[in-house]
Amino acid sequence: MATENELRSIVHRYFDCWNRHAATDAAEFFCEDGILYDGYLKESFRGAVIKEYIESTLDEVPNLKFEIVDELYSPAENRCVLQVLSTWINAGDSATCAVESAEFFEIENGRIKSEKSFYQWRSADSLTDQDRALITRYIQSWNDYDAAEVSDCFTENGIYEDAVTKQRYFGKELPVYIQSCLREGTDLRYELLDDASRISDRRVLIQTLTSGFDKPDGRYFEQESIEILDIEDGRILSTKVFYEDIVLDAYTADQVDLAASYIQCWSQRDTSALLAKLTDNAVFEDAVSGEKMGFDALAGYCDKVYARVPDLVVEHVSDISLTAADSIVFRVVSRGHCGIERPFSVDCMIVLKITGEKINAVQVFYENVDEQEVREKQAPAVRVGVDVSSAMRRKYQRSGLSDADKNLYKVRLSSVMHDQKIFKDNDLSLPKLASFIGISSNHLSQLINSEFGVNFFDFVNRMRIEESKVLLRDEQCKDTILKIAIEVGFNSTSTFYSAFKKFTGESPIKYRKHASQGLKAVLPIDRQKPIRESGTR
Protein backbone atom coordinates (compact mmCIF):
# COMPACT_ATOMS: atom_id res chain seq x y z
CA MET A 1 0.00 0.00 0.00
CA ALA A 2 1.41 3.38 -1.05
CA THR A 3 1.52 6.32 1.33
CA GLU A 4 -0.27 9.58 0.59
CA ASN A 5 3.05 11.27 -0.22
CA GLU A 6 3.93 8.48 -2.65
CA LEU A 7 0.58 8.80 -4.42
CA ARG A 8 0.96 12.58 -4.56
CA SER A 9 4.47 12.26 -5.99
CA ILE A 10 3.30 9.95 -8.78
CA VAL A 11 0.43 12.09 -10.03
CA HIS A 12 2.32 15.37 -9.64
CA ARG A 13 5.29 14.04 -11.63
CA TYR A 14 2.87 12.67 -14.21
CA PHE A 15 1.28 16.08 -14.80
CA ASP A 16 4.72 17.66 -14.79
CA CYS A 17 5.53 15.47 -17.81
CA TRP A 18 2.46 16.85 -19.57
CA ASN A 19 3.56 20.39 -18.78
CA ARG A 20 7.08 19.64 -20.10
CA HIS A 21 5.46 18.12 -23.20
CA ALA A 22 7.33 14.89 -22.49
CA ALA A 23 4.80 12.42 -23.92
CA THR A 24 7.09 9.39 -23.60
CA ASP A 25 7.80 10.10 -19.92
CA ALA A 26 4.09 10.63 -19.19
CA ALA A 27 3.12 7.36 -20.90
CA GLU A 28 5.74 5.44 -18.90
CA PHE A 29 3.82 6.20 -15.70
CA PHE A 30 1.14 3.71 -16.80
CA CYS A 31 1.21 -0.03 -16.13
CA GLU A 32 1.70 -2.28 -19.12
CA ASP A 33 -2.05 -2.87 -19.24
CA GLY A 34 -2.93 0.61 -17.94
CA ILE A 35 -5.98 2.52 -19.19
CA LEU A 36 -6.53 6.22 -19.87
CA TYR A 37 -10.23 7.04 -20.28
CA ASP A 38 -11.27 10.35 -21.86
CA GLY A 39 -14.73 11.13 -20.47
CA TYR A 40 -15.42 13.81 -23.09
CA LEU A 41 -14.62 11.57 -26.04
CA LYS A 42 -15.97 8.50 -24.19
CA GLU A 43 -12.95 6.54 -25.42
CA SER A 44 -10.37 4.37 -23.63
CA PHE A 45 -6.69 4.22 -24.61
CA ARG A 46 -4.42 1.32 -23.64
CA GLY A 47 -0.77 0.38 -23.82
CA ALA A 48 1.21 2.07 -26.61
CA VAL A 49 -1.89 3.98 -27.72
CA ILE A 50 -1.67 6.09 -24.53
CA LYS A 51 1.58 7.62 -25.78
CA GLU A 52 0.01 8.36 -29.17
CA TYR A 53 -2.97 10.01 -27.47
CA ILE A 54 -0.70 12.24 -25.37
CA GLU A 55 1.49 13.13 -28.37
CA SER A 56 -1.47 14.03 -30.56
CA THR A 57 -2.94 16.22 -27.82
CA LEU A 58 0.33 18.08 -27.29
CA ASP A 59 0.83 18.51 -31.04
CA GLU A 60 -2.58 20.15 -31.31
CA VAL A 61 -2.12 22.29 -28.18
CA PRO A 62 1.59 23.18 -27.92
CA ASN A 63 1.05 25.62 -25.03
CA LEU A 64 -1.23 23.37 -22.95
CA LYS A 65 -0.65 23.60 -19.17
CA PHE A 66 -2.20 21.63 -16.31
CA GLU A 67 -2.63 23.06 -12.82
CA ILE A 68 -3.86 21.00 -9.87
CA VAL A 69 -6.58 22.95 -8.07
CA ASP A 70 -7.36 20.46 -5.29
CA GLU A 71 -6.73 16.82 -4.48
CA LEU A 72 -7.94 14.02 -2.21
CA TYR A 73 -6.02 10.81 -1.49
CA SER A 74 -7.06 7.37 -0.26
CA PRO A 75 -3.82 5.45 0.41
CA ALA A 76 -5.70 2.39 1.68
CA GLU A 77 -7.32 2.03 -1.74
CA ASN A 78 -4.35 3.33 -3.77
CA ARG A 79 -6.71 5.89 -5.28
CA CYS A 80 -6.86 9.64 -5.61
CA VAL A 81 -9.01 12.26 -7.29
CA LEU A 82 -7.87 15.67 -8.48
CA GLN A 83 -9.50 18.84 -9.73
CA VAL A 84 -7.34 20.08 -12.58
CA LEU A 85 -7.44 23.31 -14.56
CA SER A 86 -6.17 23.07 -18.16
CA THR A 87 -5.24 26.33 -19.90
CA TRP A 88 -3.89 27.28 -23.32
CA ILE A 89 -3.72 30.18 -25.76
CA ASN A 90 -5.99 29.71 -28.76
CA ALA A 91 -3.88 30.14 -31.90
CA GLY A 92 -6.85 31.51 -33.83
CA ASP A 93 -7.69 34.58 -31.75
CA SER A 94 -5.01 34.56 -28.99
CA ALA A 95 -7.74 34.12 -26.38
CA THR A 96 -6.92 32.32 -23.14
CA CYS A 97 -8.98 29.14 -22.89
CA ALA A 98 -9.58 27.05 -19.79
CA VAL A 99 -11.25 23.76 -18.95
CA GLU A 100 -11.77 22.25 -15.50
CA SER A 101 -11.63 18.47 -15.16
CA ALA A 102 -12.01 15.76 -12.53
CA GLU A 103 -9.20 13.20 -12.73
CA PHE A 104 -9.60 9.81 -11.04
CA PHE A 105 -6.42 7.73 -10.60
CA GLU A 106 -5.88 4.16 -9.46
CA ILE A 107 -2.25 3.32 -8.63
CA GLU A 108 -0.68 -0.14 -8.57
CA ASN A 109 2.94 -0.86 -7.60
CA GLY A 110 3.98 2.74 -8.11
CA ARG A 111 2.42 3.08 -11.57
CA ILE A 112 -0.90 4.29 -12.92
CA LYS A 113 -3.36 1.43 -13.41
CA SER A 114 -6.09 3.74 -14.66
CA GLU A 115 -6.81 7.41 -15.19
CA LYS A 116 -10.35 8.62 -15.86
CA SER A 117 -10.67 12.20 -17.01
CA PHE A 118 -14.04 14.00 -17.04
CA TYR A 119 -14.32 17.52 -18.44
CA GLN A 120 -16.62 19.74 -20.47
CA TRP A 121 -15.88 22.35 -23.11
CA ARG A 122 -18.65 24.61 -22.00
CA SER A 123 -18.21 27.04 -19.15
CA ALA A 124 -18.17 25.48 -15.69
CA ASP A 125 -20.94 27.94 -14.86
CA SER A 126 -23.31 26.45 -17.46
CA LEU A 127 -25.52 24.70 -14.92
CA THR A 128 -29.22 25.05 -15.56
CA ASP A 129 -31.62 26.38 -12.94
CA GLN A 130 -33.03 22.87 -12.73
CA ASP A 131 -29.56 21.47 -11.96
CA ARG A 132 -28.95 24.05 -9.24
CA ALA A 133 -32.36 23.41 -7.68
CA LEU A 134 -31.63 19.67 -7.60
CA ILE A 135 -28.23 20.16 -5.93
CA THR A 136 -29.73 22.52 -3.34
CA ARG A 137 -32.52 20.04 -2.60
CA TYR A 138 -30.07 17.12 -2.41
CA ILE A 139 -27.82 18.83 0.14
CA GLN A 140 -30.71 20.21 2.19
CA SER A 141 -32.28 16.76 2.39
CA TRP A 142 -29.12 15.36 3.99
CA ASN A 143 -29.12 18.23 6.49
CA ASP A 144 -32.80 17.58 7.26
CA TYR A 145 -32.04 13.90 7.99
CA ASP A 146 -34.70 13.07 5.42
CA ALA A 147 -33.60 9.79 3.83
CA ALA A 148 -36.78 9.57 1.75
CA GLU A 149 -36.20 13.05 0.29
CA VAL A 150 -32.54 12.26 -0.47
CA SER A 151 -33.63 9.07 -2.22
CA ASP A 152 -36.28 10.97 -4.16
CA CYS A 153 -33.52 13.11 -5.70
CA PHE A 154 -32.48 9.94 -7.59
CA THR A 155 -34.22 8.22 -10.46
CA GLU A 156 -36.03 4.97 -9.72
CA ASN A 157 -32.89 2.97 -10.51
CA GLY A 158 -30.44 5.63 -9.33
CA ILE A 159 -27.03 4.51 -8.09
CA TYR A 160 -24.98 5.79 -5.13
CA GLU A 161 -21.36 4.63 -5.32
CA ASP A 162 -18.83 4.93 -2.50
CA ALA A 163 -15.55 5.18 -4.42
CA VAL A 164 -13.48 4.37 -1.31
CA THR A 165 -15.25 1.21 -0.13
CA LYS A 166 -16.22 0.35 -3.73
CA GLN A 167 -19.79 -0.34 -2.62
CA ARG A 168 -22.75 0.52 -4.86
CA TYR A 169 -26.34 1.02 -3.74
CA PHE A 170 -29.36 1.29 -6.01
CA GLY A 171 -33.08 0.70 -6.16
CA LYS A 172 -34.56 -0.33 -2.80
CA GLU A 173 -31.06 -0.51 -1.25
CA LEU A 174 -30.54 3.22 -1.67
CA PRO A 175 -32.90 4.65 1.00
CA VAL A 176 -31.77 1.93 3.44
CA TYR A 177 -28.12 2.90 2.92
CA ILE A 178 -28.83 6.63 3.25
CA GLN A 179 -30.77 6.02 6.46
CA SER A 180 -27.84 4.02 7.86
CA CYS A 181 -25.46 6.92 7.07
CA LEU A 182 -27.69 9.35 8.94
CA ARG A 183 -27.89 7.00 11.94
CA GLU A 184 -24.09 6.80 12.21
CA GLY A 185 -23.65 10.42 13.31
CA THR A 186 -25.25 13.24 15.26
CA ASP A 187 -25.39 16.94 14.42
CA LEU A 188 -24.31 16.10 10.87
CA ARG A 189 -23.85 19.07 8.55
CA TYR A 190 -23.39 18.78 4.81
CA GLU A 191 -22.25 21.91 2.98
CA LEU A 192 -20.86 22.95 -0.39
CA LEU A 193 -17.29 24.20 -0.23
CA ASP A 194 -17.48 25.83 -3.65
CA ASP A 195 -19.81 26.34 -6.58
CA ALA A 196 -20.84 23.25 -8.51
CA SER A 197 -19.04 22.72 -11.84
CA ARG A 198 -20.23 20.99 -14.99
CA ILE A 199 -17.60 18.57 -16.28
CA SER A 200 -19.58 16.86 -19.06
CA ASP A 201 -22.98 17.00 -20.72
CA ARG A 202 -24.64 15.24 -17.80
CA ARG A 203 -22.00 15.24 -15.07
CA VAL A 204 -21.64 17.85 -12.34
CA LEU A 205 -18.85 18.03 -9.77
CA ILE A 206 -19.50 19.25 -6.24
CA GLN A 207 -17.01 19.57 -3.40
CA THR A 208 -18.48 19.20 0.07
CA LEU A 209 -17.60 19.21 3.75
CA THR A 210 -19.42 16.84 6.09
CA SER A 211 -19.01 17.42 9.82
CA GLY A 212 -20.56 16.05 12.99
CA PHE A 213 -20.13 13.51 15.75
CA ASP A 214 -19.45 9.85 15.08
CA LYS A 215 -21.87 7.80 17.16
CA PRO A 216 -19.67 4.82 18.12
CA ASP A 217 -17.14 6.90 20.08
CA GLY A 218 -18.66 10.39 20.03
CA ARG A 219 -15.64 11.95 18.30
CA TYR A 220 -16.04 15.04 16.17
CA PHE A 221 -15.00 14.64 12.52
CA GLU A 222 -14.72 16.66 9.34
CA GLN A 223 -14.72 14.96 5.98
CA GLU A 224 -13.96 16.59 2.64
CA SER A 225 -15.42 14.88 -0.40
CA ILE A 226 -15.67 15.27 -4.14
CA GLU A 227 -18.91 13.98 -5.61
CA ILE A 228 -19.67 13.42 -9.29
CA LEU A 229 -23.40 13.64 -10.01
CA ASP A 230 -24.79 12.21 -13.25
CA ILE A 231 -27.96 14.28 -13.82
CA GLU A 232 -30.80 13.90 -16.30
CA ASP A 233 -34.16 15.72 -16.33
CA GLY A 234 -33.77 17.09 -12.83
CA ARG A 235 -32.94 13.74 -11.16
CA ILE A 236 -29.71 11.98 -10.24
CA LEU A 237 -28.93 8.92 -12.36
CA SER A 238 -25.86 8.11 -10.30
CA THR A 239 -23.35 9.67 -7.96
CA LYS A 240 -19.81 8.66 -7.14
CA VAL A 241 -18.35 9.90 -3.85
CA PHE A 242 -14.63 10.12 -3.15
CA TYR A 243 -13.55 11.26 0.31
CA GLU A 244 -10.91 11.22 3.00
CA ASP A 245 -11.49 11.06 6.76
CA ILE A 246 -9.61 13.49 8.98
CA VAL A 247 -10.50 13.66 12.65
CA LEU A 248 -9.46 17.10 13.83
CA ASP A 249 -10.77 16.99 17.37
CA ALA A 250 -11.71 14.38 19.92
CA TYR A 251 -14.32 16.14 21.99
CA THR A 252 -17.68 14.46 22.37
CA ALA A 253 -21.22 15.63 21.84
CA ASP A 254 -21.77 15.52 25.63
CA GLN A 255 -18.86 17.92 26.14
CA VAL A 256 -20.30 20.28 23.54
CA ASP A 257 -23.71 20.14 25.22
CA LEU A 258 -22.10 20.91 28.57
CA ALA A 259 -20.25 23.92 27.13
CA ALA A 260 -23.39 25.20 25.38
CA SER A 261 -25.51 24.89 28.52
CA TYR A 262 -22.81 26.65 30.56
CA ILE A 263 -23.02 29.64 28.19
CA GLN A 264 -26.80 29.56 28.27
CA CYS A 265 -26.81 29.76 32.08
CA TRP A 266 -24.99 33.10 31.95
CA SER A 267 -27.54 34.58 29.54
CA GLN A 268 -30.44 33.19 31.59
CA ARG A 269 -28.97 34.59 34.83
CA ASP A 270 -29.38 31.12 36.33
CA THR A 271 -26.66 30.92 38.97
CA SER A 272 -27.98 27.69 40.51
CA ALA A 273 -27.96 25.86 37.17
CA LEU A 274 -24.50 27.23 36.39
CA LEU A 275 -23.08 26.01 39.72
CA ALA A 276 -24.70 22.61 39.18
CA LYS A 277 -22.47 22.14 36.13
CA LEU A 278 -19.29 22.58 38.22
CA THR A 279 -17.51 20.18 40.54
CA ASP A 280 -17.31 21.12 44.23
CA ASN A 281 -13.61 21.96 43.90
CA ALA A 282 -13.94 23.89 40.63
CA VAL A 283 -11.80 27.00 40.10
CA PHE A 284 -12.88 30.05 38.08
CA GLU A 285 -9.96 32.16 36.77
CA ASP A 286 -9.92 35.57 35.14
CA ALA A 287 -6.80 34.95 33.03
CA VAL A 288 -6.27 38.65 32.30
CA SER A 289 -6.52 40.10 35.82
CA GLY A 290 -5.15 36.93 37.42
CA GLU A 291 -8.08 36.71 39.86
CA LYS A 292 -9.05 33.19 40.94
CA MET A 293 -12.00 32.01 43.00
CA GLY A 294 -13.33 28.71 44.25
CA PHE A 295 -16.77 27.20 44.02
CA ASP A 296 -18.08 28.94 47.17
CA ALA A 297 -17.13 32.43 45.96
CA LEU A 298 -18.49 32.01 42.45
CA ALA A 299 -22.16 32.53 43.37
CA GLY A 300 -21.40 35.97 44.82
CA TYR A 301 -19.31 36.81 41.77
CA CYS A 302 -22.21 35.91 39.44
CA ASP A 303 -24.61 38.08 41.44
CA LYS A 304 -22.26 41.06 41.11
CA VAL A 305 -21.99 40.57 37.35
CA TYR A 306 -25.78 40.39 36.95
CA ALA A 307 -26.27 43.46 39.14
CA ARG A 308 -23.90 45.51 37.00
CA VAL A 309 -25.14 44.11 33.66
CA PRO A 310 -28.87 43.34 34.01
CA ASP A 311 -29.27 42.58 30.28
CA LEU A 312 -26.14 40.46 29.88
CA VAL A 313 -26.18 38.16 26.83
CA VAL A 314 -23.40 35.66 26.13
CA GLU A 315 -23.34 34.21 22.61
CA HIS A 316 -21.25 31.33 21.25
CA VAL A 317 -19.56 32.59 18.06
CA SER A 318 -16.85 30.07 17.12
CA ASP A 319 -16.21 26.36 16.79
CA ILE A 320 -15.18 24.39 19.83
CA SER A 321 -11.64 23.00 19.67
CA LEU A 322 -9.75 20.46 21.72
CA THR A 323 -6.68 21.73 23.62
CA ALA A 324 -6.02 18.65 25.76
CA ALA A 325 -7.67 15.34 26.52
CA ASP A 326 -10.00 16.96 29.05
CA SER A 327 -10.10 20.61 27.96
CA ILE A 328 -12.03 22.45 25.26
CA VAL A 329 -11.84 26.06 24.13
CA PHE A 330 -14.37 28.25 22.36
CA ARG A 331 -15.08 31.91 21.75
CA VAL A 332 -18.07 33.94 22.92
CA VAL A 333 -19.23 37.52 22.69
CA SER A 334 -20.68 39.20 25.79
CA ARG A 335 -23.13 42.04 25.19
CA GLY A 336 -25.25 44.35 27.33
CA HIS A 337 -25.48 47.75 29.02
CA CYS A 338 -23.43 48.73 32.00
CA GLY A 339 -24.59 52.02 33.47
CA ILE A 340 -24.34 53.86 30.15
CA GLU A 341 -26.62 54.31 27.17
CA ARG A 342 -24.35 52.74 24.58
CA PRO A 343 -24.12 48.93 24.88
CA PHE A 344 -20.79 47.13 25.06
CA SER A 345 -19.61 44.11 23.09
CA VAL A 346 -16.54 42.16 24.11
CA ASP A 347 -14.80 39.07 22.74
CA CYS A 348 -14.00 36.34 25.25
CA MET A 349 -12.21 33.03 24.89
CA ILE A 350 -13.27 30.41 27.43
CA VAL A 351 -11.34 27.26 28.34
CA LEU A 352 -13.25 24.56 30.21
CA LYS A 353 -11.51 21.66 31.93
CA ILE A 354 -13.96 18.78 32.21
CA THR A 355 -13.91 15.95 34.73
CA GLY A 356 -16.49 13.28 34.07
CA GLU A 357 -19.77 15.05 33.38
CA LYS A 358 -18.89 18.34 35.10
CA ILE A 359 -16.60 21.33 34.71
CA ASN A 360 -13.59 21.35 37.02
CA ALA A 361 -11.97 24.62 35.93
CA VAL A 362 -12.87 27.72 33.90
CA GLN A 363 -10.42 30.20 32.38
CA VAL A 364 -11.71 33.38 30.76
CA PHE A 365 -9.58 35.45 28.35
CA TYR A 366 -11.01 38.69 27.03
CA GLU A 367 -10.23 42.02 25.40
CA ASN A 368 -9.88 44.58 28.19
CA VAL A 369 -10.52 48.23 27.23
CA ASP A 370 -10.64 51.68 28.79
CA GLU A 371 -12.96 51.30 31.78
CA GLN A 372 -13.19 55.05 32.38
CA GLU A 373 -15.53 55.13 29.41
CA VAL A 374 -18.25 53.44 31.48
CA ARG A 375 -17.67 55.58 34.58
CA GLU A 376 -17.34 52.68 36.95
CA LYS A 377 -15.21 49.63 37.55
CA GLN A 378 -16.54 46.48 35.91
CA ALA A 379 -16.58 42.90 37.09
CA PRO A 380 -13.49 41.04 35.77
CA ALA A 381 -15.34 38.94 33.19
CA VAL A 382 -17.33 41.84 31.74
CA ARG A 383 -15.37 44.50 29.87
CA VAL A 384 -16.51 47.35 27.71
CA GLY A 385 -15.74 47.23 24.00
CA VAL A 386 -16.76 48.94 20.79
CA ASP A 387 -17.16 47.55 17.32
CA VAL A 388 -16.20 50.46 15.08
CA SER A 389 -12.54 50.65 14.04
CA SER A 390 -12.29 54.44 14.07
CA ALA A 391 -13.88 54.61 17.53
CA MET A 392 -11.39 52.04 18.78
CA ARG A 393 -8.47 54.14 17.58
CA ARG A 394 -9.80 57.30 19.25
CA LYS A 395 -10.58 55.55 22.51
CA TYR A 396 -7.24 53.80 22.86
CA GLN A 397 -5.20 56.87 22.10
CA ARG A 398 -5.79 57.62 25.81
CA SER A 399 -4.25 54.30 26.92
CA GLY A 400 -1.39 54.10 29.39
CA LEU A 401 1.21 53.51 26.65
CA SER A 402 3.38 56.42 25.61
CA ASP A 403 4.12 56.99 21.93
CA ALA A 404 7.63 55.64 22.46
CA ASP A 405 6.23 52.49 24.12
CA LYS A 406 3.73 52.02 21.31
CA ASN A 407 6.46 52.22 18.68
CA LEU A 408 8.65 49.78 20.63
CA TYR A 409 5.91 47.20 21.09
CA LYS A 410 4.69 47.60 17.50
CA VAL A 411 8.19 46.65 16.33
CA ARG A 412 8.21 43.62 18.64
CA LEU A 413 4.69 42.65 17.57
CA SER A 414 5.70 42.90 13.92
CA SER A 415 8.73 40.71 14.59
CA VAL A 416 6.87 37.85 16.27
CA MET A 417 3.99 37.98 13.78
CA HIS A 418 5.84 38.54 10.50
CA ASP A 419 9.29 37.08 11.19
CA GLN A 420 8.52 34.31 13.67
CA LYS A 421 4.96 33.82 12.37
CA ILE A 422 3.63 32.98 15.81
CA PHE A 423 0.10 33.22 14.41
CA LYS A 424 0.62 29.67 13.08
CA ASP A 425 0.29 28.45 16.67
CA ASN A 426 -3.33 27.26 16.82
CA ASP A 427 -3.32 27.67 20.60
CA LEU A 428 -2.29 31.33 20.40
CA SER A 429 -4.09 33.49 22.96
CA LEU A 430 -3.90 37.15 23.96
CA PRO A 431 -1.85 36.43 27.13
CA LYS A 432 0.47 34.10 25.21
CA LEU A 433 1.15 36.70 22.53
CA ALA A 434 1.62 39.38 25.20
CA SER A 435 4.28 37.28 26.93
CA PHE A 436 6.22 36.96 23.67
CA ILE A 437 6.61 40.71 23.30
CA GLY A 438 6.99 41.56 27.00
CA ILE A 439 3.77 43.51 27.55
CA SER A 440 0.63 43.03 29.63
CA SER A 441 -2.46 41.52 28.02
CA ASN A 442 -4.35 44.72 28.74
CA HIS A 443 -1.81 46.93 26.96
CA LEU A 444 -1.48 44.52 24.03
CA SER A 445 -5.24 44.58 23.52
CA GLN A 446 -5.17 48.38 23.59
CA LEU A 447 -2.24 48.48 21.17
CA ILE A 448 -3.95 46.19 18.63
CA ASN A 449 -7.23 48.08 18.83
CA SER A 450 -5.72 51.58 18.64
CA GLU A 451 -3.11 50.91 15.96
CA PHE A 452 -4.94 48.40 13.77
CA GLY A 453 -8.60 49.10 14.52
CA VAL A 454 -9.50 45.44 15.10
CA ASN A 455 -9.79 43.07 18.04
CA PHE A 456 -7.26 40.37 18.89
CA PHE A 457 -9.10 37.55 17.12
CA ASP A 458 -9.49 39.43 13.84
CA PHE A 459 -5.88 40.65 14.05
CA VAL A 460 -4.53 37.09 14.29
CA ASN A 461 -6.97 35.58 11.79
CA ARG A 462 -6.19 38.27 9.23
CA MET A 463 -2.50 37.33 9.46
CA ARG A 464 -3.41 33.68 9.01
CA ILE A 465 -5.54 34.43 5.97
CA GLU A 466 -2.77 36.51 4.38
CA GLU A 467 -0.36 33.60 4.89
CA SER A 468 -2.87 31.17 3.38
CA LYS A 469 -3.27 33.41 0.33
CA VAL A 470 0.47 33.16 -0.30
CA LEU A 471 0.25 29.36 -0.23
CA LEU A 472 -2.87 29.29 -2.40
CA ARG A 473 -1.15 31.46 -5.02
CA ASP A 474 2.02 29.37 -4.98
CA GLU A 475 2.02 27.01 -7.97
CA GLN A 476 4.57 24.81 -6.17
CA CYS A 477 2.24 24.31 -3.18
CA LYS A 478 0.01 21.32 -3.90
CA ASP A 479 -1.40 20.96 -0.37
CA THR A 480 -5.14 20.54 0.07
CA ILE A 481 -7.24 23.35 1.49
CA LEU A 482 -7.48 21.48 4.78
CA LYS A 483 -3.71 21.14 5.15
CA ILE A 484 -3.22 24.82 4.38
CA ALA A 485 -5.80 25.70 7.05
CA ILE A 486 -3.93 23.67 9.67
CA GLU A 487 -0.57 25.04 8.49
CA VAL A 488 -1.54 28.68 9.03
CA GLY A 489 -3.02 28.14 12.49
CA PHE A 490 -6.70 27.19 12.17
CA ASN A 491 -8.15 24.19 13.99
CA SER A 492 -10.83 23.30 11.46
CA THR A 493 -11.74 23.75 7.83
CA SER A 494 -15.08 25.36 8.60
CA THR A 495 -13.47 28.08 10.76
CA PHE A 496 -10.90 28.69 8.02
CA TYR A 497 -13.59 29.01 5.34
CA SER A 498 -15.58 31.48 7.45
CA ALA A 499 -12.54 33.65 8.15
CA PHE A 500 -11.33 33.48 4.55
CA LYS A 501 -14.68 34.63 3.18
CA LYS A 502 -14.84 37.38 5.81
CA PHE A 503 -11.51 38.89 4.76
CA THR A 504 -11.51 38.15 1.01
CA GLY A 505 -15.16 37.85 0.00
CA GLU A 506 -14.68 34.43 -1.65
CA SER A 507 -13.88 30.84 -0.75
CA PRO A 508 -10.26 29.61 -0.63
CA ILE A 509 -10.96 27.17 -3.47
CA LYS A 510 -12.29 29.93 -5.68
CA TYR A 511 -9.36 32.17 -4.70
CA ARG A 512 -6.89 29.43 -5.72
CA LYS A 513 -8.68 28.97 -9.05
CA HIS A 514 -8.62 32.68 -9.79
CA ALA A 515 -4.94 32.85 -8.86
CA SER A 516 -4.10 29.90 -11.10
CA GLN A 517 -5.92 31.50 -14.03
CA GLY A 518 -3.95 34.50 -13.16
CA LEU A 519 -3.59 36.74 -14.06
CA LYS A 520 -4.29 35.48 -17.29
CA ALA A 521 -7.39 37.56 -16.83
CA VAL A 522 -5.86 40.19 -19.08
CA LEU A 523 -7.02 37.93 -21.89
CA PRO A 524 -10.65 36.85 -22.33
CA ILE A 525 -11.25 33.31 -21.10
CA ASP A 526 -13.24 31.30 -23.61
CA ARG A 527 -14.18 27.82 -22.44
CA GLN A 528 -16.82 27.39 -25.08
CA LYS A 529 -14.73 26.40 -28.10
CA PRO A 530 -12.61 23.25 -28.22
CA ILE A 531 -9.30 23.43 -30.03
CA ARG A 532 -10.32 20.38 -31.96
CA GLU A 533 -13.15 17.91 -32.00
CA SER A 534 -11.29 14.97 -30.50
CA GLY A 535 -8.29 13.92 -28.48
CA THR A 536 -7.82 17.11 -26.45
CA ARG A 537 -8.06 16.90 -22.67
Q: Are 323 and 401 in contact (CB under 8 A)?
A: no
Give the least confident one: 24-38, 226-240, 326-340, 359-373. 359-373
Give a yes or no: residue 517 inside a domain: no
User: Is the confidence at residue 345, as pLDDT, over 80?
Assistant: no
Mean per-residue pLDDT for 77-105?
A: 78
Give a yes or no: residue 81 inside a domain: yes
Rg (CA), the chain: 27
Residue 400 has a pLDDT of: 57
Count CA atoms closer than 13 A to 488's CA, side-chain side.
27
Segment 398-452, tens digit of pLDDT: 445 677 878 888 888 988 898 889 999 887 877 788 888 888 877 887 788 788 8
Residue 523 main-chain phi, psi, to 5 deg: -110, 145
Which amino acid makes up residue 173? E
Give a yes or no: residue 210 inside a domain: yes
Q: How many angstroms separate the CA atoms of 160 and 225, rounded?
A: 14
Do 206 and 277 lie in one domain? The reply is no
The boundaries of the domain holding residue 374 are 253-385
The pairing of strands 111-119 and 154-162 is unpaired
Residue 138 has a pLDDT of: 94
Residue, of 389 and 34, whose pLDDT is higher: 34
Do 12 and 92 lie in one domain? The reply is yes
The domain boundary, picked from 385, 408, 432, lies at 385
Do 234 and 140 lie in one domain? The reply is yes
Do 136 and 151 lie in one domain? The reply is yes
Residue 353 main-chain phi, psi, to 5 deg: -100, 125
Do 351 and 274 lie in one domain? The reply is yes
- 148, burial (CB in 10 Å: exposed 0-12, middle 13-18, buried 19+): exposed
Give a yes or no: residue 74 inside a domain: yes
281-to-50, 277, 328, 358, 359 alpha-carbon distances in Å = 71, 12, 19, 11, 10
CATH number of the domain bearing residue 147: 3.10.450.50
Do 242 and 257 lie in one domain? The reply is no
Mean pLDDT of the chain: 78
Residue, of 492 and 123, whose pLDDT is higher: 492
**Among 221, 229, 232, 224, which Cα is nearest to 138's?**
229
Give a yes or no: residue 84 inside a domain: yes
Residue 537 has a pLDDT of: 39
Give a yes or no: residue 527 inside a domain: no
Q: How many angstroms separate the CA atoms of 301 and 338, rounded?
A: 16
* Domains contained in the chain, number: 3
The domain boundary, picked from 246, 279, 314, lies at 246
Q: Are 230 and 191 in contact (CB under 8 A)?
A: no
**Among 390, 344, 336, which Cα is nearest to 369's?**
344
Do 219 and 182 lie in one domain? The reply is yes
Do 36 and 69 lie in one domain? The reply is yes
Do 269 and 366 lie in one domain? The reply is yes
Rounded to two decimals, the pTM is 0.49
The domain boundary, picked from 212, 246, 280, lies at 246
Give a yes or no: residue 359 inside a domain: yes
Do 224 and 264 lie in one domain? The reply is no
Do 106 and 31 lie in one domain? The reply is yes
Do 214 and 152 lie in one domain? The reply is yes
- 329, burial (CB in 10 Å: exposed 0-12, middle 13-18, buried 19+): buried
Give a yes or no: residue 283 inside a domain: yes
Q: How many angstroms separate the CA atoms of 154 and 230, rounded?
A: 10
